Amino acid sequence: AQKITQTQPGMFVQEKEAVTLDCTYDTSDPSYGLFWYKQPSSGEMIFLIYQGSYDQQNATEGRYSLNFQKARKSANLVISASQLGDSAMYFCAMRGTREAGTALIFGKGTTLSVSS
């Protein structure tokens, strides 16, 4: 069965510092996508970054980068130069061809708190 594991329930970082949020996954599907979403206290889910299983390079989107290590089945999110507005819940998710409707499988999330 496909599974996403996020082992950090909470992370604390100061403004302008970089932070890494961990994510490991388990799948036997050769074709899959890895996603990170941000969920502020308002509840909306905001798409941050995507990495395909066949992509050779790590994905980057502005201050977000995804450290993809396929052999270790990890897809860590790196946020550079943290801002107060980055305080939120962060979810790692996977989408594969073998899951029902290729729906997203989510981890339990990591709460990030950024302080000044």
Partner 1 sequence: DGGITQSPKYLFRKEGQNVTLSCEQNLNHDAMYWYRQDPGQGLRLIYYSQIVNDFQKGDIAEGYSVSREKKESFPLTVTSAQKNPTAFYLCASSIRATPSYEQYFGPGTRLTVT
Query: CB neighbours of 26 closer than 8 A, spacing ≥ 6?
Result: 1, 2, 3, 4, 5, 73
Closer CB to partner 1, 17 or 47, in the complex:
47
Q: How many CB atoms lie within 10 A of CB 99?
A: 16
Closer CB to partner 1, 76 or 96, in the complex:
96
Query: CB neighbours of 100 closer than 8 A, spacing ≥ 6?
Result: none
State the minimum distance, in angstroms, from the CB of residue 77 to partner 1.
Answer: 15
Site residues (vs partner 1, CB under 8 A): 4, 31-33, 35, 37, 42-47, 50, 52-53, 91, 93, 95-97, 100-104, 106-109
Closer CB to partner 1, 20 or 55, in the complex:
55
